[in-house]
């Protein structure tokens, strides 16, 4: 227990340095990008007066040298102050916290969908291949996963809208809730779940295909090991051998890869939220990028980077639960 705690503290220390590095790099990259939020705001207000633009730059602190701006931003981040949105005229942290639950809901559902069906299809395919019967099932599942993997997420999302929303009319194509529905209780939960189906499947299908192929390869490798052959020689049924012996060992690389890809899922949420009009931080980041809202953009980058680091820490903990031997090394 003490060793696990010390390892966790060490990981947290490294995580803080990683987040600090990400904050500095993002700040410099955003400042190097073309475009001036003060000029954008002045142009939208119908004024191109240089004095007005300079006044806006002074108000936003853009007239200060880059090192001074960076120092002020780091000081604010240390005090959980992510700055002020140029466009929305609201604190960045408030805007992000307002949108973050929607993104976490979408990512959680997409991750559960991807890992559940990916592992399930991988186990079914590997069992069919290992048993030497119904190899057509293995071919169908792996070919389907490869096809899904090769399909861009935004294209899959658009096809899902065209087929399930416009053609069949089964699922809503846009938003998180029914506009003007004013629903409460279970009716609101059901409405959100109804709107959540298409974004979840569209975001999770790509990762499901990856997990299915990875699970199949890992399962076939484990099923060829000596302890599996010994269990089979003792008369242990194939299904029990897979559940009790093979699957737990085969899940180790899947869990590792899934933890790494959670960060990619956060990036994929930007496209998914934009296509489906999902009110999350991905859509917020897209709007901030178009509007040159530096502070809001940096705030979203910081939150998503922190999420990736936290996901990797949780992956390490889950890894130790699956294989307790890791905690003794």
Cα 8 to the center of its chain, rounded Å: 23
For the stretch 179-215, pLDDT in tens is 766 777 788 888 888 888 888 988 888 888 888 888 8
- pLDDT category of residue 251 using cuts at 50, 70 and 90: confident
More confident residue, 154 or 217: 217
Does 141 score more than 70 pLDDT? yes
Assigned CATH for 101-269:
1.10.3720.10
Q: What is the mean pLDDT of residues 115-143?
A: 81
Q: Is the pTM of this model over 0.85?
A: no
| Per-position DSSP letters for 8-76, written without gaps between them | HHHHHHHHHHHHHHHHHHHHHHHHHSS--HHHHHHHHTT---HHHHHHHHHHHTTTS-HHHHHHHHHHH
| Residue (of 33, 76, 40) closest to 56 by Cα position | 40
Phi/psi for 91 (5° steps) reads -60, 140
Range 36-48 average pLDDT: 62
**What is the residue-averaged pLDDT of the chain?**
78
CA triplet 48, 54, 58: central angle to 5 degrees? 145
Model confidence band, residue 329 (pLDDT cutoffs 50, 70, 90): very low
């Amino acid at each position: 227990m003490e060793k696990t705690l010390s390892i966790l503290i060490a990981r947290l220390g490294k995580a803080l340095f990683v987040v600090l590095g990400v904050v500095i790099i993002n700040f410099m990259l955003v400042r190097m990008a073309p475009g001036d939020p003060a000029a954008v705001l002045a142009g939208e207000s119908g004024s191109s007066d240089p004095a007005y633009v300079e006044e806006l730059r002074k108000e936003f602190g853009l007239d200060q040298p880059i090192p001074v701006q960076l120092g002020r931003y780091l000081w604010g981040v240390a005090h959980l102050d992510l700055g002020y949105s140029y466009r929305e005229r609201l604190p960045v942290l408030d805007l992000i916290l307002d949108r973050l639950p929607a993104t976490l809901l979408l990512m959680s559902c997409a991750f559960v969908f991807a890992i559940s069906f990916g592992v399930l299809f991988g186990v079914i395919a590997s069992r069919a291949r290992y048993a030497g019967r119904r190899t057509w099932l293995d071919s169908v599942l792996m070919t389907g996963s490869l096809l899904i993997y090769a399909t861009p997420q935004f294209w899959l999302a658009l096809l899902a809208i065209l087929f399930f929303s416009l053609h069949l009319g089964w699922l809503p194509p846009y938003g998180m809730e029914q506009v003007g529905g004013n629903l409460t209780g279970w009716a609101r939960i059901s409405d959100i779940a109804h709107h959540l189906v298409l974004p979840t499947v569209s975001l999770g299908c790509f990762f499901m295909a990856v997990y299915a192929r990875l699970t199949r390869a890992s399962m076939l490798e484990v099923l060829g090991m000596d302890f599996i052959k010994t269990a089979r020689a003792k008369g242990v049924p194939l299904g029990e051998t897979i559940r009790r012996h093979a699957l737990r060992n085969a899940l180790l690389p899947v869990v590792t890869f899934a933890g790494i890809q959670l960060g990619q899922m956060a990036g994929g949420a930007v496209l998914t939220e934009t296509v489906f009009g999902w009110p999350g931080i991905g859509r917020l980041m897209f709007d901030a990028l178009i509007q040159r809202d530096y502070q809001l953009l940096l705030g979203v980058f910081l939150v998503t980077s922190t999420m990736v680091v936290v996901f990797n820490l949780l992956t390490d903990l889950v890894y130790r639960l699956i294989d307790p031997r890791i905690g003794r090394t």
